[in-house]
Amino acid sequence: MTTRAEALALLEDRMKDCQKCPLAQTRTRVVPGEGPVDAELVFIGEAPGFNEDRQGRPFVGQAGQLLTELLQSIGLRRQDVYITNIVKCRPPNNRDPMPNEIEACRPWLESQLEVLAPLVICTLGRHSMGRYFKMSISRIHGQPAKFGDVWVMPFFHPAAALHNQALRPALFADFQKLPALLDQARAERRAKSTPVKEPPPEPKQLSLF
């Protein structure tokens, strides 16, 4: 039987030869994602940039440094979470991913989420947020919603906060909400997997006469 770790490794490996969209022609390396298979938190960014495309790893540039800082601000390390993108290959000149590219890449992300089965999905920026929410990011950042049995928390993209320093305090404040959301999600998952016990039957009155 395949373990979850093997299933994830196999999936990441299969992605490396993907030819499903035109980004295959311009990328250097596919960037499947990285992190432990039992991560409770999955972060979904937009698309690999220059450094990610060279190294084959997500969020290794300046935006990645800010993501690491944000995680540290709530007592987490980068290696505690799974990090991936909505599109696994770098769009030329870091342009926005196009709808056909997002669509072509969707089955990869869906398979990853199926294997990872996280408690909370954190979207970074409007492209990954658009998978779940149809509202503007400035209205709903930091407001989680439940989809099936997984919570989704929309965040501004760290790169947006690097370009516009005014977004930084909101991004850090939104991250502060994650520990409580995780606690709630853990409790809900526990309650779901623990069958509610029937109360023991009332002791029968023994009738001696």
Q: Which residues bind ligand URA (CB under 6 A)?
A: 45-49, 52, 58-59, 61, 63, 85, 159
CB nearer to ligand URA: give 45 or 144.
45
Q: Which helix (H) or strand (E) holds 145?
A: strand 145-147
122, 153 in Cβ contact below 8 A? Answer: yes
Residue placing its CB nearer to ligand URA in the complex, 55 or 184: 55
Nearer to ligand URA, 40 or 46 (CB): 46
Shortest Å distance, C-beta 56 to ligand URA: 11
Minimum CB separation from ligand URA for residue 52, in Å?
4
* In the block, residue with structure tokens 């890449």: 105
Q: Packing angle between helix 168-175 and helix 62-72, nearest 10 degrees?
A: 40
Give the H or E element holding residue 112: helix 99-116
In the complex with ligand URA, which residue's Cβ is closer, 2 or 164? Answer: 164
- Which DSSP helix (H) or strand (E) runs through 100? helix 99-116
Q: Which two tokens stand for residue 75?
A: 């007592």
Looking at beta carbons, which residue is closest to ligand URA?
45
* Token digits of residue 54: 């060279």
